[in-house]
C-alpha cells in the first residue's frame, strides 16, 4: 500500500490513514483477508469507491447510503480565489455548457427543444429543423410505400402532418445553419452575433407540398448564394459584414412576397461589358468638297 500512497503532498498520519481507507474501499477481496495493491486515479486523495456501509459525499451533501438519508451539509467559500476541490466536490468546478450563450432560454437537459417531431439533434450540438433538413426524404415517401423499407413513425408523422395542415409558419435562419461554422460566421458569433437569436431569424410561411403554397422549403440555391457572399467578407469586418448580409437576405424575402426562398436572387450578375456585344464599326469616311473648275474666260470681255 505504501507504493500506492506515494504523492508529492506531505501527508500527516491522519491524512495517510484516510487515503489508505479510500483505496481499501475499492478492494473486493478484503472480506477474505487479502489486501492486494489497488491503484486509483487520485491515489486515495478522493474516495473513488462508495462503500455501501459508509457515508459518501455527493457535491456538498453527506449521504448515508445504507440508511438512505442526508446526514450533513458541507460549506464551501466559492468566492475564495484560492479555493480548491475538496473531497468529492471537484465536480462543482466543471466548465459551463459552451452552447449556453446561444440557447439562454433552454436547459441543456432538453431534447430537440422538447419537440422531437419538428426538430432533430443527432449530434447533441444543436437542434435542426427536421422538415427543412429532410425535405428530399419526404418527397421519396411515395416510393417507399410499396417497398420493404418502412419509414420511422416520426418521419411518417411529420410527412402526413405537412400534407394535411393549412398554412404553417417556420422560423427561417437568415444566415443558414449549414454555414454556422463558416470562418466569418464563427468570428461574428465571437463578436456578439446571436446566431440562434431573433436577429438571425425571420418568420416565413412554410411550403405546403399538397397546395404548393408557402415559401419556406428546401433552399440550397439561396444557401449557396449566401456562402459566396460570406466568402467575400473580410475577417476584420466579420460582424458588420454578417449583419449587412442578414439585412440583405431579409429585404429580399420581404420585398418578394410571391417568390419562394430558393428562387431569390441575392448575388447580382456582374454588368455586361458593352464591348462584348457592340460591333465596333469603322469611322465613316469624311467627304471632301470637290473644287469647281476655273472659268477660262474669267475677267476677259468678249471671251466666249
The pLDDT score that the predictor gives to residue 7 is 45
Task: With H, G, I as helix, E, B as strand and everything else as coil, classify residue 34.
Answer: coil
What whole-number distance in Å separates Cα of residue 81 and Cα of residue 168? 53
pLDDT digits (tens, 9 = 90+) for 196-229: 888 999 888 888 877 878 888 788 888 889 988 9
Spatial strand order of the sheet with 69-73 comes to: 55-58, 61-64, 69-73
User: For the packed helices 220-231 and 238-255, what is the interaxial angle rounded to 10 degrees?
Assistant: 150
DSSP 3-state percent helix, strand, coil across the chain (nearest 5): 35, 10, 60
Mean predicted lDDT score pLDDT of the chain: 74
What whole-number distance in Å separates Cα of residue 97 and Cα of residue 105? 13
pLDDT digits (tens, 9 = 90+) for 33-56: 887 787 777 787 877 765 555 777
Dig out the grid coordinates for 48 from the structure.
Answer: 473513488
Shortest CA distance to 175 belongs to which of 161, 157, 155, 189? 189
| Mean pLDDT calculated for residue range 272-295 | 67
277 band by pLDDT with thresholds 50, 70 and 90:
low
| Sole residue written with cell 422549403 | 217
The pLDDT score that the predictor gives to residue 290 is 72
| Mean pLDDT calculated for residue range 98-125 | 77
| Mean pLDDT calculated for residue range 68-84 | 72
0.85 exceeded by pTM: no
pLDDT digits (tens, 9 = 90+) for 137-178: 555 555 555 555 554 554 444 444 444 445 778 888 899 988
DSSP 62-88: EEETTTTEEEEE----TT-TT----TT
Q: Which of 92-96, 232-236, 276-280, 287-291 is modeled with the greatest confidence?
A: 232-236
Q: Where are the domains of the chain?
A: 1-48, 50-94, 113-164, 167-267
Identify the burial level of 239 via C-beta atoms within 10 angstroms of its C-beta, where 0-12 means exposed, 13-18 middle and 19 or more buried.
middle
Amino acid at each position: 500500500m505504501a507504493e500506492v500512497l506515494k504523492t508529492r503532498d506531505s501527508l500527516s498520519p491522519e491524512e495517510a490513514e484516510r487515503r489508505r481507507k479510500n483505496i481499501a474501499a475499492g478492494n473486493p477481496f478484503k472480506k477474505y483477508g487479502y489486501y492486494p495493491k489497488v491503484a486509483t486515479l487520485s491515489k486515495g486523495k478522493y474516495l473513488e469507491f462508495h462503500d455501501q456501509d459508509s457515508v459518501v459525499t455527493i457535491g456538498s451533501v453527506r449521504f448515508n447510503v445504507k440508511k438512505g438519508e442526508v446526514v450533513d451539509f458541507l460549506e464551501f467559500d466559492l468566492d475564495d480565489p484560492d479555493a480548491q476541490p475538496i473531497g468529492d466536490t471537484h465536480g462543482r468546478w466543471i466548465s459551463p455548457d459552451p452552447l449556453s450563450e446561444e440557447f439562454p432560454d433552454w436547459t441543456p437537459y432538453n431534447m430537440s427543444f422538447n419537440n422531437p417531431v419538428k426538430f432533430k439533434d443527432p449530434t447533441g450540438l444543436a437542434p435542426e429543423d427536421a422538415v427543412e433538413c429532410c425535405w428530399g426524404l419526404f418527397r421519396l415517401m411515395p416510393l417507399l410505400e410499396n417497398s420493404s423499407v418502412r419509414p420511422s413513425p416520426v418521419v411518417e408523422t411529420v410527412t402526413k402532418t405537412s400534407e394535411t395542415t393549412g398554412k404553417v409558419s417556420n422560423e427561417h435562419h437568415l444566415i443558414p445553419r449549414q454555414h454556422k461554422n463558416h470562418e466569418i460566421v464563427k468570428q461574428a458569433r465571437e463578436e456578439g452575433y446571436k446566431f440562434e437569436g431573433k436577429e438571425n431569424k425571420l418568420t416565413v410561411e412554410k411550403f405546403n407540398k399538397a397546395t404548393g403554397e408557402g415559401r419556406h422549403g428546401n433552399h440550397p440555391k439561396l444557401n449557396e448564394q449566401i456562402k459566396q457572399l460570406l466568402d467575400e467578407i473580410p475577417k476584420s469586418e466579420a460582424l458588420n459584414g454578417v449583419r449587412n448580409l442578414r439585412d440583405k437576405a431579409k429585404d429580399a424575402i420581404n420585398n418578394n412576397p410571391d417568390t419562394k426562398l430558393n428562387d431569390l436572387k441575392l448575388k447580382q450578375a456582374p454588368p455586361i461589358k458593352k464591348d462584348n456585344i457592340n460591333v465596333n464599326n469603322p469611322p465613316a469616311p469624311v467627304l471632301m468638297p470637290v473644287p469647281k473648275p476655273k472659268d477660262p474666260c474669267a475677267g476677259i470681255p468678249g471671251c466666249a
